[in-house]
Amino acid sequence: MKKNNYLLLCLLLCVLLQSCYGYVTSVDYTAIKNEKCNEKSKSIYLFFEGEELTFNYEKLGVLEVEGDQYASNSEVLEELKREAWGKCANGLIKIKSGYKEREQGVAFVSETEETYSSKFYTAIAVKISLNEDFIAKYGEGLPVTFKEK
């Protein structure tokens, strides 16, 4: 009987620990093209919404990153770049940002629910066809300084 109680208690603790939500950065990636990634780029290019895109690229996926309650703009943007790089992208196009309401708390415990304004970024992850003309116009890109998770 003690063993059953112990197992039940362990199961309950696992469920409670897994029932927290909204306390971490949220990442959503929708693949447009599934491509095997053999070599990751050493730099990444950023193009915000409204910027002219006069170069060739291949769309890989749509990416959205929402920061946690205390995340700075730079932390959320850095996560957007890291996630794109992890999907073998060397560029992000049509980058948009803003704030959205987000909730955090413990599931099934309404007293812990809290709403906060979260910084978010959305973009399309792309593989840019790098050539001499592109590099002459846009430079070498932003160096990748993070490691894969």
Tens of pLDDT, residue by residue over 52-72, are 999 999 999 999 999 887 889
Q: What is the mean pLDDT of residues 3-7?
A: 65
Amino acid at 75: E
Question: Which band of pLDDT confidence, cut at 50, 70 and 90, is reported for residue 12?
Answer: low
Tokens of 54: 């006069």
Q: How far is CA 116 from the centre of its chain?
A: 19
Q: What is the mean pLDDT of residues 90-96?
A: 97
Taking CA atoms, 33 is separated from 12, 55, 70, 86, 113, in Å, by: 40, 19, 33, 14, 37
109-125 per-position pLDDT tens digit: 666 677 778 899 999 99
pLDDT at position 59 is 96
With 0-12 / 13-18 / 19 or more C-beta atoms within 10 angstroms meaning exposed / middle / buried, residue 72 is: exposed
